[in-house]
Amino acid sequence: MTLFQNIGLFILTSLILLMISVPPILFLIWYLYDKKQSQHSILRNFPLLGRIRYLLEMLGPEFRQYMFDSDSEGKPFSRSDYSNIVIQGKYLKTVIAFGSKRDFSKPGFYLRNSMFPKQKEEMKVMLTPKIPTKRYVGTEGLFSRTEHLEGVDVSPWTLPDENAIIIGPKCREPWHVKGPVGMSAMSYGALGENAISSISRGLGMATGSWVHTGEGGLAPYHTIGGGDVIMQIGSGILV
């Protein structure tokens, strides 16, 4: 055998020995440590098994989310709600097939099919000026992802002036809301500079939307996008 073959064999043998010997040594160290510690009774009485229990407790939410919860379970958003948001936000696909997954015997709001649905040009929404943005195009498989971004122009889908929602009609400066969907109350302290700036810029580009400051107060990053801002100055108090 050549020198390089001997070195390769030595490295391979060493790796195999490490793989075989390290786990038992690690388990032995954990066992001795758990038996001597006096903080956790479970670990003291059941070394290793107690660690397995804590590991399963930590992985429990992920197991339920991806393996056990149904599409309609989960709070605050179900898997179905999350998928619909991601598909529309990431791929700009607003036509999503749906079936009878909900219990129609329970009270709630439901979509009813129309025999002659309106075209978007017939709806009372603003379709211009177009907004430049990007969307993902490609395939998203289990072992390969061939997605790429491409530029696209989309409609703002805001309300026209005559249908705008007026908040404070008797105030000195009423607020005319043309986009009923905006950023919920998430404070600067909770999200940070980069997230607030990105959201503000995105909602400003979308036109008609708004930013809610949450209880953390107004920061310069909330206004960086140039859109409307709802400033919360205390618990349950909005300006």
Which residue bears the tokens 């950023």?
Answer: 183
- Token reading at 73: 């379970």
Cβ atoms within 10 Å, residue 192: 11
pLDDT at res. 221: 92
**Residue 236's pLDDT band (boundaries 50, 70, 90)?**
low
pLDDT at 136 over 90: no
Q: Greatest CA separation found in the chain? A: 93
pLDDT at 237 over 60: no
**Residue 222's pLDDT band (boundaries 50, 70, 90)?**
very high
* 3-class DSSP assignment, residue 137: strand
**Among the ranges given (15-29, 91-105, 164-178, 222-236), the one the predictor scored with the smallest mean pLDDT:** 91-105
Tens-digit pLDDT profile for residues 50-81: 888 888 888 887 887 777 777 777 777 788 78
> What DSSP string runs through 45-98?
HSTTHHHHHHHHHHHHHHHIIIIIS-TT--SSS-HHHHHHHHHHHHH-------
Q: How far apart, in whole angstroms, are the C-alpha atoms of residue 42 and residue 24?
A: 21
Q: How far apart, in whole angstroms, are the C-alpha atoms of residue 145 and residue 139?
A: 6
pLDDT at res. 194: 93
pLDDT at 118 over 90: no
pLDDT at 104 over 80: no
Separation in Å, CA 7 to CA 10, 19, 153: 5, 18, 59
**Residue 1's pLDDT band (boundaries 50, 70, 90)?**
low
